[in-house]
């Protein structure tokens, strides 16, 4: 499959008072055209940092970014701010967890979507019609009415639809969705996931889905990357990961999900907490919580082991 986006040994470090905090370390992955790639992990694992770095949204100057982000034959990290401005929205669109933070409260929702279209040089009348069409695509009822609604007049699900419409307005090749359904009710979540899937089929966009919800992943992802403490620890197709997780962390995470009733047995909790990684400590980052940790795990960070053409895991052979 042709890769649309490739991360090559991406790392992000933050300068903090007591040294360098490693937020993302040595992450390499690629997303194909029309593919839904889910980056999964617990809070603080670096998944949102990756999304923000791809979009070059981090404004802090105390960060150090290493590696490459290749998109459309260019390394996004080399682009000037004005060149990056042309990529954002037009080629890579992004939606966030809380749509209310992304919408301007004093403008009508339709106006804000039309703003995106104006960038592509559509006239007022054309863009109004296009906005209504987009609202219809994301299944907003009474689109003619709704373009005139202010964000506070819309429910959470409707706002997220407006955000998706705004993103689709410019038909980007890659959509980055950062926890798009976390703030929504389950019935609404199901509707939004359905729309994301349909949009992928309709526009052949690729999606980088960032989430901690394995249910959402099982529902729509093609491939999964599991992150732990800033590192990609396992990658595979959704079936490989769910049926045959290899990394001790992936295994533990999947068995910590409540599935059945307590009478069928307790779920297995992972003891301990995620460590704060300073100055690239030279050992496996899961070492202190790993049930299978051995001496070799302290001697350098493990490298990737290939289990199939699509399935790879960052662990020593004796760990899996």
Partner 1 sequence: MEPIIRIQNLDKRFLISRRLFSRKRKVVDAVKDFSLDIYPGEIVGLIGESGSGKTTLSRLLLSLTPASGGSVTIGSTNLVTAKRREIRAVRSRFAVVFQDPASNLNPRQTVEHSIMRPLLIRGMDKKEARQRAREALDKVQMAETYLAAYPHQLSGGQQQRIAIARALVMEPDVMILDEPTSALDISVQAQVLNLLLDLQAELKLTYLIITHDLNVIRYVSDRIAVMYMGRLVEIGKTQEVLENPSHPYTDILIHSVPILDPLHRDDEKRLFPGEPGEVPDCPAACRLAPRCPHVMEKCLTSQPPMLEVSPGHLAECFLLEQTV
Which of 5, 27, 39, 270 lies at the binding interface for partner 1 (CB under 8 A)?
A: 270
Is 174 or 252 the residue whose CB approaches partner 1 more closely?
A: 252
Q: Residue 317 in contact with residue 305, Cβ under 8 Å? A: yes
> In the complex with partner 1, which residue's Cβ is closer, 79 or 293?
293
Stretch that binds partner 1, among 7-15, 63-71, 89-97, 181-189 (CB under 8 A): 181-189
Of the residues 21, 175, 193, 284, which one makes contact with partner 1 according to CB under 8 A = 193
Q: Of these, 17, 271, 282, 306, which contacts partner 1 (CB under 8 A)?
A: 271
* Closer to partner 1 by Cβ: residue 50 or 158: 158
Residue choice 26, 137, 178, 219 for contact with partner 1 (CB under 8 A): 219
Q: Which two tokens stand for residue 252?
A: 């533990």
Scan residues 21-80 and list those touching partner 1 (CB under 8 A): 42-43
Could you tell me which residues come within 8 angstroms of residue 155 by beta carbon, excluding any fewer than 6 positions away?
Answer: 188
- Least Å from the CB of residue 275 to partner 1: 11
Sole window of 62-70, 89-97, 114-122, 182-190 interacting with partner 1 (rule: CB under 8 A)? 182-190
Considering only residues 1, 16, 57, 267, which one is a binding residue for partner 1 as defined by CB under 8 A? 267
**Considering the rule CB under 8 A, would residue 269 count as an interface residue with partner 1?**
yes
Q: Tell me which stretch binds partner 1 (CB under 8 A): 58-66, 165-173, 236-244, 303-311.
A: 236-244
* 175: nearest Cα among 200, 192, 198: 200
How many chain residues interact with partner 1 (CB under 8 A)? Answer: 43
238 touches partner 1 (CB under 8 A) = yes
Segment interacting with partner 1, rule: CB under 8 A, options 23-31, 49-57, 104-112, 269-277: 269-277
How many Å from the N-terminal Cα to the C-terminal Cα in the chain?
A: 28
What binding mask, one character per residue, do residues 136-155 give for partner 1 by CB under 8 A, x or -? -------------------x
242 near partner 1, rule: CB under 8 A: yes
Q: Is 273 in the site for partner 1 (CB under 8 A)?
A: yes
| Contact set with partner 1 (CB under 8 A) | 42-43, 155-158, 185-191, 193-194, 212-216, 218-221, 238-239, 242, 252-253, 256-262, 266-271, 273
């Amino acid at each position: 499959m042709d890769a649309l986006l490739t991360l090559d040994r991406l790392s992000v470090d933050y300068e903090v008072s007591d040294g360098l905090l490693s937020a993302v370390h040595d992450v390499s992955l690629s997303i194909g055209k029309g593919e839904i790639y889910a980056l999964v992990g617990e809070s603080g694992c670096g998944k949102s940092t990756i999304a923000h770095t791809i979009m070059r949204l981090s404004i802090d100057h105390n960060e150090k970014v290493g590696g490459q982000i290749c998109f459309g034959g260019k390394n996004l990290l080399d682009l000037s701010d004005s060149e990056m401005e042309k990529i954002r929205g037009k080629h890579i669109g992004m939606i966030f967890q809380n749509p209310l933070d992304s919408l301007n409260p004093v403008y009508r929702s339709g106006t804000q979507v039309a703003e995106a279209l104006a960038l592509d040089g559509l006239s007022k009348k054309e863009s109004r019609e296009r906005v209504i069409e987009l609202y219809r695509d994301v299944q907003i009822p009474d689109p003619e009415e709704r373009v005139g609604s202010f964000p506070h007049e819309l429910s959470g699900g409707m706002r997220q639809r407006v955000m998706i419409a705004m993103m689709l307005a410019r038909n980007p090749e890659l959509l980055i969705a950062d926890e798009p359904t976390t703030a929504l009710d389950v019935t609404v979540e199901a509707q939004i996931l359905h729309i994301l899937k349909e949009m992928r089929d309709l526009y052949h966009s690729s999606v980088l889905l960032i989430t901690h919800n394995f249910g959402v992943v099982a529902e729509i992802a093609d491939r999964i990357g599991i992150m732990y403490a800033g590192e990609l620890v396992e990658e595979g197709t959704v079936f490989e990961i769910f049926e045959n997780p290899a990394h001790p962390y992936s295994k533990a995470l999947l068995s910590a999900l409540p599935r059945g009733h307590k009478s069928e047995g307790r779920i297995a909790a992972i003891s301990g907490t995620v460590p704060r990684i300073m100055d690239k400590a030279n050992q496996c980052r899961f070492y202190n919580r790993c049930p299978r940790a051995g001496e070799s795990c302290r001697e350098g960070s493990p490298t990737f082991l290939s289990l199939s053409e699509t399935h790879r895991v960052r662990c020593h052979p004796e760990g899996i």
